[in-house]
Amino acid sequence: MIRIIRNATIGDTYDKLDAEHRKRLLDPPEEPLVLDDPGLQLSISLYLDTQNASQETYTAVRKTILRHNNDNPILTFDQVKRCMTDLSGIVSITHDMCINSCQAFTGPWAAHDHCSYCGEVRYDPILSKPNKNVPRQQFHTIPIGLQLQALWRTSQGAQDIRYRERRTVEILAELEGNDGAIGVYDDIFCGREYLDAAIDGRIKSGDMVLMLSIDGAQLYRNKKSDTWVYVRDLGSISITGQALK
């Protein structure tokens, strides 16, 4: 597995990106994303507002809106999902995994039919057919490259990404004018390791720097929890997951 990760390249056996999104990853669109169609705007707003609800909720609200005002056509649930994928370029890569979450069936285990740790079978013996195997459990990976590329498609997103570069220039100017000292350490860009990388050219103008830190949280004394806290986007804190009942 270490060797596979070390030698990973776009388009190898394990990346599982389709040809269209592989091409987009290598040659992303550079023009600003413009959403000027009222029906599309309404469809996307409805989808985002009901993302924590069921698909049936989206469909019911859509029918209600169309019943009272059909001036702007609203996309179906499947149509708006496909449209958002096309607009953002962000897709999910799916891998099979052990029903007990012991391992993923990828890399050196891609062709295995049983978990190497607990021995559980990979495919559902009831739902699977001779010409179609149905995995018992899967997990999704959203490639970070596609997410970062999407941030550049709006003026605000591009300005936000440039914050690192602007702040670095300010800090370096302060160091130069204050005998190498920083008055207030108020940002991760004040750190010596980061500044050394910026000064010696390992981090260049226009580069994006991605930082990730993750850890689990035990919410209840006597119950397991699948809530994970992670730090992303150079300092913003997010929480994902839900406590198990």
Q: pLDDT of 95-112, one tens digit each?
A: 999 999 899 999 999 999
Does the pLDDT of residue 240 top 60, yes or no?
A: no
Coil/strand/helix, residue 180? coil
pLDDT one-digit tens code per residue, 23-35: 998 998 888 888 8
81 CB-contact burial (10 Å; exposed 0-12 / middle 13-18 / buried 19+) = middle
Q: What's the average model confidence in pLDDT over 56-84?
A: 90
pLDDT one-digit tens code per residue, 114-143: 999 999 999 999 999 988 999 999 998 888
Order the strands of the 227-232 sheet from edge to edge.
213-217, 227-232, 236-240
pTM of the model: 0.71
Does the pLDDT of residue 57 top 90, yes or no?
A: yes
Q: What is the mean pLDDT of the chain?
A: 86
Provide the 10 A C-beta neighbour count for residue 40. 19
Q: How far apart are the first and last CA of the chain?
A: 34
Give me the pLDDT at residue 15, please: 84
Give me the pLDDT at residue 218, please: 67
